[in-house]
Structure formats: structure tokens, C-alpha cells
Amino acid sequence: MSTIESVVQETRVFPPSEETVKKATISGMAAYEALCKEAEQDYAGYWARLAREHVTWKTPFTKSLDESEAPFYKWFPDGTLNVSYNCLDRQVEAGKGDKVALIFEADDGKVTKVTYKDLLARTAKFANALRAQGIKKGDRVLIYLAMSVEGVVAMQACARIGAIHSVVFGGFSAKSLEERILDAGAVAVITADEQCRGGKNIPLKPAVDEALNLAVGHNVKTVFVVKRTGGACNMVAGRDVWYHDIVAGQSETCEPEWVDAEHPLFLLYTSGSTGKPKGVQHSSGGYLLHAILTNKWTFDLKDDDVFWCTADIGWVTGHTYITYGPLACGATEIVFESVPTYPDAGRFWKMIQDHKVSVFYTAPTAIRSLIKANEGNPATHPRNYDLKSLRILGSVGEPINPEAWMWYYNNVGGGRCPILDTFWQTETGGHMITPLPGVTPLVPGSCTLPFPGIQATIVDETGHELEWGKGGFLVVKKPWPSMIRTIWGDADRFKKSYFPADFQGKLYLAGDGAMRDAKTGYFTIMGRIDDVLNVSGHRMGTMEIESALVANPLVAEAAVVGRPDDLTGEAICAFVVLKQSRPSDEDAKKIAKELRDWVGKEIGPIAKPKDIRFGENLPKTRSGKIMRRLLRALAKGEEITQDVSTLENPHILDQLKQNA
């Protein structure tokens, strides 16, 4: 696993090749520095210039930034636009109607190509269908769909009519769905009968039914159901409609709803340091601008590129780098339904070869699992495939350890392709700190330098900037267009979480620790400073998992911490005290399984603790505070060297060393 030391000691540097520099839109360090300087001198003017150049406005804005209610910033407030128009109509009007927008590859390998003209027609039809059901601007629509053309269409259709979508990852449980339906006050849900993954059909619709039964007082009037497999599917009369029925007969044109730049485009729920997930609210104009710019500058997207981001639309990466950014740039992109290991661990490489993918964006956890799988089965090693079409690689979601970086660089990129280690968050809308292909010499394990215009730095607990070489809190000094606008329904939590009073309410607090290299100023992310874990690039709140565990009738008390894991980055380790006496052996295994399944039902399978350890109690101070630092050491398997004499109950440490 990557450690901060291994990154700090990293001496390998990979400058961009001459060819890449020549081709790149932002070409050379001087060009990068000029942009940074422009933004430093006048950030509002800098972003306004770019917003005029890259976004098509219905009504051009006259005011770049309204800071009067900071930190509730308003970008381009008097401009109007439509995001779906910018993604689809704009391409068709520019003569790209017959260009392939989406290459959809299904679980079983079946390929469907959708042109810009088709995608616009499909979006218009579904947008009309939404309107026909009474859904209008500002309404919240929950989307619970797997990777599919319909998933992209559903999001685009919401954007077209000004409805605010909230996509919930298909791996979340009915209970999680219920919470989000209620919190967002959704009026409709878009789902499918089943999803196909790894050769299996997995039901989706029953979770929606269960969620709506649980959600007392919900506002959902319509459930749209895409028929993916034709498997058994319960339809509730008067509420549920088949997607194919409802779009049939709809017109292929649909006048977009022109909305203010600040109109919310979507909510996306993510974990924080309390038990309740937060609905991150994004805008239309500012968000779209950054989606476009980062695709053009970080990925250097050009007209002849084939782009593939392997994320799911249930995460922010799938929003910015599948549904919105690449389409707004008129690119051809892959939408992949399945998993990297089906039918074997060569799937990614085969698809890159088949579709001549040139820009490939994936997560370190996928790379690590494929390294491992390829060791077991050399036939699926990337060397067996023709990957010459690749020119740019990306990484996202968690730190990429230098070993995985080198493997990705040599074996997938053939030593030719820059790896862009992009640091960002659900809240930031798009890349924040990242190399640019034609600019930045790469150092494995470092996300290098801020995206032009992002004024990131590192401060101490009082908000004072630290010199390079010192670790501290990662912050952003100035607002930027794609930043989170608020937490849905909880403006106070928004302020407290991201613009805390400790920093005079002026700095955006990312929630990560970071440090800058003493010589180069390159950033290295050291991980979350709050109680948030990163498991396979998925963000999980420890409090959320703890709440789920203690909701089980068997459990008296629970504490959850992360520990390093070679494959998933971090693994979830739960320390549990039962109401009954401490179980041993078989009994412990049985209850551990029961608790894992319980968490799977409460939150989703991704939240299941890998380790469960039972104790008669948890290590506490005499005032009753759980000593999480000790638990983290226990989870890692470290010898406890610190003084535990102040502990109320030192003997339970031995119990908590054992995994059930």
C-alpha cells in the first residue's frame, strides 16, 4: 500500500513527451502558469471569460460572481441556459448529428451505438414523457438505474425540463433509497426491472417498492420502469409505468426549459462525518463550465478521441465524466454495463482494443484488482491486447500507490501515456488538483498541481498557510464555478462542514489532509481528516455504519474505523459489543455474518464491514470516550505501545485483536 513516505521519497519523474505537448490544448508550463496568473489577478473575470467561450447561453450573463451572501456564491447569476441543450442540440447544430455519442457495451458484450441525433431524440421523447406526467422545473426525480443508455437519457431529460435529478447507485439498499426519496422530496423515481452484472440478473425494482412502502409521507406519484431483462416485475397500478410505453408516441423534439445559471442541476448524496448522508447540490451553469473545461484540458479531449470513464452514473465521476462533460465536448464515449472481471480480467483491455479507446479513466482499486487477477491468469494480462489507441490515462477516487501507478503506466499505457491522477470530490463537481497532459512532469503517487483557476493551498488549524514540506488541511482560497452550492435542506450544515468558522468562513475545507513537496510544490493527498473512509474509491461514513450496526437488536455498541487494505485502499473494521455475552468461535462467525448482511440491507453491500471483532466492551477513557486511535491501531494489527493505564478496561484490547 502507498504510504506517505513512499510518495514523499518518490524520485521518478516523467516529463510529458514532445508529441503530447504539441497536441495538447494547454501546451507547456508557461501556458499553464499564464492561466493560473490570470485567475489569481481576477478570478471572477477569469471564469467569466471561460464561461463565455465554452458554454452556450440563452441569455448571456452580465454579472460574473455574486459574493454578497458568501459562502453561498452565485456564478453567472443573470445568465440563462440549458445543460441538455449544451450537450446535445449544440452538437447536432454544429453538424455532428451523425457522430456516435455513446457506445454502449452490455454485460454480455452486445454493442449499441447511439449518435448525437439519436440521443437528442431519445432525450426529447423522455423529457416530453416526464412533462406529460406533470413533472416540472424544480421537481426532484430520483434515478435508480444501472449503467445504460436510458440512465444517461434520464439524466439529460431531467436537465432538459429543469427537473433536479438525484441518482442513487444501484448498489444501495431500499433503506438508503427511502432516506434519499424523503430527504429530496422526490416526485418520481426512474428505475429498471433488473440490472445485469457479471452474467447475473439482479432485481432493482423490488428495492424501489420496498423503499416507497417504508417512506412514510413521500411525494412520489410516478415510477418509470425500464425493461432491461423482462424478468418478473411487480407493477403498481396508477403509479408504475413502463418506460417504453410512456415514450412511445412522444415527439422527438422538446423545447428546453431555459433556467438560471444557478438553477440546481442535481443533488447527489454522499457520506459525511455524521450518520446522515448529505445531498450535495450542484448548479447548472458553473457546473457545466467545469465539466467542459476539465474534459478539454485534463483529458485533452479532441474530436477524434474515444473516451472511456469506467465509473458508474451513481457517483459524481459518472455525472461529470460520462453524462455531462464528454457530451458537452461532442466526444464519443463508452458506457459500460458490466464489471472489469467479467467474463475475465481482460475485459477492460479487450474493450480498449475493440473500440480503439484513446482516453481511459479508471480507479486505483480497479487497477489493483486487475494486477492481482492478471497474476493468477496471465492470459488476461494487457500485453495480450492491442492498446496502441491509448494516449491518455486517468485515475480517480483515492490515492494511487506508486506500484500500481507504475504497472498502469508500463502495462496499460505502454510507457507512452501520461497518467492523470485527478484529485477532486463530489462537492467540487470536477477536477481540483491534477496534472495536465501537455504541461506537468508526473510523479507517481502525487496529484501534482491545481487545475488552472483553482487556488488550493494547505493551512494549519487556524487557517494560516503552511510552507511547502509541511502537512496540514487542504483548502481552496477562492470560490470556483462548479463548487457545491449547499446541502439540500441543510444550509447550516453546509456552512459548518465546508466553510468553518475556524477559517473565518472564507476557506473551502476539503476534508483531506495534504502536503506539498518542499521543492516542487506538488500536492500529495494524505487522506481524510474526518470520520470518512474510502473503500474502493467509495466514500463511507463511519458514523453511518455505526448507526446501522446499533440499529440491530443484537448490538449494544459499535465503533467503526478504517484500516489499510492492499486491494480496496481502506477496509471497514467494526468493533462490536453485543447485548448478550461476548460470542466465541462458531457463534461469533454466525453473528458476524448476520451483522454484515444487516449492514448490507441498511446501507448497501459496499458498506459491509470486512472485519468484525467482538468485545465485552470498547476501549474507553475514564470519562467514557471511545479511544478511536487505539481501535485504528488494533485494526491495523499494530502492537499497542502507547500507555493504556488510563483505560477503564485494558483487558478488552486482547479480545478486540481477534477477527470473527
> Where along the sequence are the contacts to ligand WT7 (CB under 6 A)?
270, 315-317, 396-399, 421-426, 447, 510-512, 525, 528, 534, 537, 539
Cβ-defined contacts of 56-65 (< 8 Å, 24+): 56/81, 56/85, 56/86, 56/90, 57/81, 57/285, 58/82, 58/85, 58/258, 59/258, 61/261, 61/285, 65/479
What is the SS3 assignment for 573?
Answer: strand
> Please, what is the minimum distance in Å from the beta carbon of residue 366 to ligand WT7?
13
Residues in the annotated binding site: 197-200, 317, 397-399, 421-426, 512, 528, 536, 539, 550, 555
The nearer residue to ligand WT7, 150 or 512, going by C-beta atoms, is 512
> Please, what is the minimum distance in Å from the beta carbon of residue 277 to ligand WT7?
11
The nearer residue to ligand WT7, 331 or 396, going by C-beta atoms, is 396
- Euclidean distance between CA atoms 218 and 181, whole angstroms: 7
> Please, what is the minimum distance in Å from the beta carbon of residue 421 to ligand WT7?
5
The nearer residue to ligand WT7, 330 or 537, going by C-beta atoms, is 537
The nearer residue to ligand WT7, 532 or 627, going by C-beta atoms, is 532
- Euclidean distance between CA atoms 588 and 659, whole angstroms: 9
- Euclidean distance between CA atoms 513 and 473, whole angstroms: 5
- Euclidean distance between CA atoms 155 and 547, whole angstroms: 31
Residues 371, 401 contacting (CB under 8 angstroms): no
The nearer residue to ligand WT7, 90 or 431, going by C-beta atoms, is 431
Residues 559, 586 contacting (CB under 8 angstroms): no
The nearer residue to ligand WT7, 533 or 595, going by C-beta atoms, is 533
Residue 187 contacts by C-beta under 8 Å, 6 or more apart in sequence? 135, 139, 140, 141, 219, 220, 221, 222
Residue corresponding to grid cell 439524466: 155
Residues 604, 172 contacting (CB under 8 angstroms): yes
Residues in the annotated binding site for ATP: 397-399, 421-426, 512, 528, 539
The nearer residue to ligand WT7, 399 or 438, going by C-beta atoms, is 399
The nearer residue to ligand WT7, 91 or 401, going by C-beta atoms, is 401
Residues 581, 590 contacting (CB under 8 angstroms): no
Our CA dihedral for 144, 146, 147, 152, rounded to 10 degrees, sits at -20
The nearer residue to ligand WT7, 46 or 315, going by C-beta atoms, is 315
**Residue type at position 157:** A
The dihedral built from the CA positions of residue 331, 369, 430 and 189, taken in this order, carries a sign that is: positive
Radius of gyration of the chain (CA): 24
Residues 80, 57 contacting (CB under 8 angstroms): yes
- Euclidean distance between CA atoms 256 and 393, whole angstroms: 35
The nearer residue to ligand WT7, 4 or 491, going by C-beta atoms, is 4
- SS3 letters across 586-597: HHHHHHHHHHHH
Phi then psi dihedrals of residue 223, to 5 deg? -120, 115
- Euclidean distance between CA atoms 649 and 655, whole angstroms: 11
The nearer residue to ligand WT7, 10 or 512, going by C-beta atoms, is 512
Distance of CA 501 to the CA centre of its chain: 27
Q: What beta strand segments (E) does 383-448 contain?
A: 392-396, 419-422
Using CB atoms within 10 Å of the CB of residue 581, give its burial: 0 to 12 exposed, 13 to 18 middle, 19+ buried. exposed
The nearer residue to ligand WT7, 209 or 421, going by C-beta atoms, is 421
The nearer residue to ligand WT7, 514 or 555, going by C-beta atoms, is 514
Angle made by CA atoms 189, 195, 198, in degrees to the nearest 5: 155
309 sits in which H/E element: strand 306-309
- Euclidean distance between CA atoms 565 and 292, whole angstroms: 35
The nearer residue to ligand WT7, 273 or 617, going by C-beta atoms, is 273
Phi then psi dihedrals of residue 165, to 5 deg? -90, 155
CA distances from 487 to 4, 279, 490, 495 (A): 32, 5, 5, 9
Q: Angle of helix 116-132 relative to helix 149-161, nearest 10 degrees?
A: 60
> Please, what is the minimum distance in Å from the beta carbon of residue 311 to ligand WT7?
7
